[in-house]
Amino acid sequence: KAIMPFGNTHNNFKLNYKVEEEFPDLSKHNNHMAKVLTKDIYAKLRDKQTPSGYTLDDVIQTGVDNPGHPFIMTVGCVAGDEESYEIFKELLDPIISDRHGGYKPTDKHKTDLNFENLKGGDDLDPNYVLSSRVRTGRSIKGYTLPPHNSRGERRAIEKLAVEALTSLDGEFKGKYYPLKSMTDAEQEQLISDHFLFDKPVSPLLTCAGMARDWPDGRGIWADEEDHLRVISMQKGGNMREVFRRFCVGLQKIEEIFKKHNHGFMWNEHLGYILTCPSNLGTGLRGGVHVKLPKLSTHPKFEEILTRLRLQKRGTGGVDTASVGGVFDISNADRLGSSEVEQVQLVVDGVKLMVEMEKKLEKGEAIDGMIPAQ
Amino acid sequence: MASSFTRILSSKRNVGILSLVGGSVAAGFLLHREHVTAGEPLRRRYPASAEYPDLRKHNNCMASHLTPAIYAKLCDKATPNGYTLDQAIQTGVDNPGHPFIKTVGLVAGDEESYEVFAELLDPVIKERHNGYDPRAMKHPTDLNASKIQSGVFDERYVLSSRVRTGRSIRGLSLPPACTRAERREVERVVVDALSGLKGDLAGKYYSLTVMTEKEQQQLIDDHFLFDKPVSPLLTCAGMARDWPDARGIWHNNEKTFLIWINEEDHTRVISMEKGGNMKRVFERFCRGLKEVERLIQERGWEFMWNERLGYILTCPSNLGTGLRAGVHVKLPRLSKDPRFGKILDNLRLQKRGTGGVDTAAVGGTFDISNLDRLGQSEVQLVQTVIDGVNYLVECEKRLEKGQDIKVPAPIKQF
């Protein structure tokens, strides 16, 4: 008899079929999930579910539907709730290890949001560094995540987030723009500020169920791929100021959520818990839009980035290519190092790359500047 | 006894107490547990009113009929396989409307969906099928092609003729809900049956997962190949999951009888030819369908069918016959006449572009087919198309000669 709502009769029904009959065909796949998932692991985990009813097939569906991505090695799985990382650890731990540079199940992740520990970062050359931005995500404890939440839950998250955010004041005072009741004028303004997020079209997200019921429960400040995406940004190269505002704002927001008895999802092994395993730890992507037309065509560009522990993207975000020699440069790591450490890498690395660009402009060599392994 | 019971109830430990100790009455009680046992779902529950979708900007059949009361009644039900109302309506919530047609906005995950969620599905079916009342009426099935009168069109106008329907295998979930194993079983059952077809129906199966480049190109050139669905109407209903696993195309050697496996339905069955011989197309259609049915029955399977709704398919719009019989026909003058729409309506026909349901017409050539699916038999619907297309071609000829045309009286429905 089905236990409704959210009973998992459907998963139990699947157990009538043998493992070989249900195991996905991953022969043409190239993502982290496909590399790790064996029939044995599938057999072991297929009859499990989290307390909210999330199952192994739910976790892997996006990876089954999306065999590979031209620019990046995708993770190929998502969490439906905090408990997913526990119940399906036999699958997720090796994926986390592959994705986060060998991070072990016994490793501990440190959190450091004390912006005063950042050295420098206020003097990146604005002739090259066009804008600076730090983003992370936060999940609210006690709720399921975007791949799994129902309309009722998503709305409750929105309500709580809006309550918390509208109680901010001082430099953090602001406004909530729900997607479904935004006026055309507000929408235009948010687009030109580069604030507006669109309904996800990437099948990586849609196959994981994150676009359901769009735009219900979504708004600027809350709920796209994660419960909250928190972004601090400004034009120019003062990353220090961006990071300060990021840390202070985050801590204020967290205090408010704690007062409502819903802190953020966090543990000392995985740091901040987010929907995609690639965002565990700090969930932080700190970066700049920077003009590197000469450096980006240098044969050692990729290697320089790797050694600096940085990654490049196009200025449109993760799924885009660069335009006019302007790159989005950000930290590559998320798990195993702190927020301060990751932003420090960006600050130091970008400063160095701008120096390299200037040298190349003068026709000088940069080999001496390339960091050691 | 009362005081020890109260003490147990008020204890702060959350423990399941299975029997009340003492006295002549032994009773079992299960107190509220905070930490549930593995496998028993504990999830934040919201009342139906908190879960009810926001349909204010929506214009589809589901949105027209899903009241908060019906939602509250059905939202905690599931079919025996575990398919729920929220799953059935997800596509309609995610897709508020379509520019050319009023979409249905919901799908069935299995045969039982039509029973468990009847309170929503019956009014949707009634609206979509022009008044057919599933609670009061019976649907006639008739695949006797010999009853068709005339049915060979003037090929200066009719470029091609086609009849399609779908069939679902009873006992297996439908594409929105099926597991990988079920989908593979549909493929196995159908391909096995098709290998038994003989004569002009003998053919070959092309699995999407192992097709060669050459085979793929040939199927594209023949206009047989179907693509991974991109329409959000289908993807939001979960029909593209695990693509291309267990999907494929079967066709006979003469390329006049074609079957799609595991696209929007378990099977889509298509009979087609260039030119205007709709009678022969339908004859082959009926013969092929009956053969396939015989072959799966030999193996212990059957199609989903009942006398209330006819053949059961994924989308409620395809219930009954699931039949769309149509032609590509050149009507450059008639299509510009302001009476064109009314003529089609009265003949119970619909027009589409030659690319299918989501397209517009090109160069005065239209796809003309039957409007109805449910409440009339296959023979009746194909006859309606034949009579209607003959009338349209007559009108086109009259307009060519500068003669006037008449809007025909509306055909009786049921």
The answer on pLDDT for B293 being more than 80 is: yes
User: Is the pTM above the cut of 0.95?
Assistant: no
Q: What is the pLDDT of residues A130-147, one digit of tens each?
A: 999 999 999 999 999 999
Residue B160 has what pLDDT? 95
Lowest mean pLDDT among A163-167, B75-79, B170-174, B356-360: B356-360
Structure ipTM: 0.84
Which stretch, A10-14, B95-99, B158-162, has highest mean pLDDT? B158-162
Cis amide bond preceding A146, omega within 30: no
Over range B239-259, report the average pLDDT: 96
Q: What is the pLDDT of residues A167-203, one digit of tens each?
A: 888 888 888 889 888 888 888 888 777 777 778 888 8
- A47, A64, A143: residue with CB nearest B242: A64
Over range A140-155, report the average pLDDT: 93
Contact A373, A145 (CB under 8 A): no
Residue B22 has what pLDDT? 30
The three state secondary structure string of chain A is CCCCCCCCHHHHHHCCCCHHHHCCCCCCCCCHHHHHCCHHHHHHHCCCECCCCCEHHHHHHHHHHCCCCCCCCCCCCCCCCCCHHHHCHHHHHHHHHHHCCCCCCCCCCCCCCCHHHCCCCCCCCCCCEEEEEEEEEECECCCCCCCCCCHHHHHHHHHHHHHHHHCCCHHHCCCCEEHHHCCHHHHHHHHHCCCCCCCCCCHHHHCCCCCCCCCCCCEECECCCCCEEEEEEEECCCHHHHHHHHHHHHHHHHHHHHHCCCCECEECCCEECCCCHHHCECCCEEEEEEECCCHHHCCCHHHHHHHHCEEEEECCECCCCCECCEEEEEECCCCCCCHHHHHHHHHHHHHHHHHHHHHHHCCCCCHHHCCCC
Contact B180 A144 (CB under 8 A): no
Q: Which of B284, B378, B401 is closest to B325 using CA atoms?
A: B378
Q: Which of A287, A320, A282 is closest to A69 using CA atoms?
A: A320
The answer on pLDDT for B49 being more than 60 is: yes
Contact B241 A49 (CB under 8 A): no
Residue A170 has what pLDDT? 82
The answer on pLDDT for B15 being more than 70 is: no
- Ramachandran bin of B363, using left for φ above 0, alpha for ψ from -120 to 50, beta for the remaining angles: left
Residue B17 has what pLDDT? 28
Interface test with B, best of A46, A82, A213, A216 (most B CBs within 10 A): A213
Which stretch, A161-170, A331-340, B208-217, has highest mean pLDDT? A331-340
Q: What is the pLDDT of residues B83-142, one digit of tens each?
A: 999 999 999 999 998 766 799 999 999 999 999 999 999 999 999 999 999 999 999 999
Q: Contacts of residue B73 in chain A, CB cutoff 8 Å?
A: none
At residue A269 the predicted structure's pLDDT band, cuts being 50, 70 and 90, is very high
The answer on pLDDT for B413 being more than 60 is: yes
Kindly give, in sequence order, each residue whose CB lies less than 8 Å from that of residue B191, ignoring residues fewer than 6 positions away: B205, B248, B250, B261
Over range B40-44, report the average pLDDT: 43
The answer on pLDDT for A3 being more than 50 is: no
Residue A358 has what pLDDT? 96
Q: Which helix (H) or strand (E) holds B248?
A: strand B248-252
Domains and CATH numbers, chain A: 9-100 (1.10.135.10), 115-201+215-362 (3.30.590.10)
At residue B354 the predicted structure's pLDDT band, cuts being 50, 70 and 90, is confident
Q: What is the pLDDT of residues A213-249, one digit of tens each?
A: 988 888 886 446 888 888 898 888 899 999 999 999 8
The answer on pLDDT for A114 being more than 60 is: yes
At residue B3 the predicted structure's pLDDT band, cuts being 50, 70 and 90, is very low
Over range A269-274, report the average pLDDT: 96
Q: How far apart are the first and last CA of chain A?
A: 60
Interface test with B, best of A8, A9, A15, A204 (most B CBs within 10 A): A9
- A4, A25, A150: residue with CB nearest B77: A4
Contact B166, B107 (CB under 8 A): no
Q: What percent of chain B has pLDDT over 90?
A: 78
Residue A193 has what pLDDT? 73
Q: Contacts of residue A207 in chain B, CB cutoff 8 Å?
A: 241
- B41, B52, B177: residue with CB nearest A51: B41
Contact B36 A51 (CB under 8 A): yes
The answer on pLDDT for A336 being more than 60 is: yes
Domains and CATH numbers, chain B: 1-129 (1.10.135.10), 145-401 (3.30.590.10)
At residue B357 the predicted structure's pLDDT band, cuts being 50, 70 and 90, is low
The answer on pLDDT for B37 being more than 60 is: no
Q: What is the mean pLDDT of chain A?
A: 90
Nearest CA in chain A to B51: A152
At residue B19 the predicted structure's pLDDT band, cuts being 50, 70 and 90, is very low
Interface test with B, best of A1, A8, A10 (most B CBs within 10 A): A10
Q: What is the mean pLDDT of chain B?
A: 88
Residue A198 has what pLDDT? 77
Contact B241 A18 (CB under 8 A): no
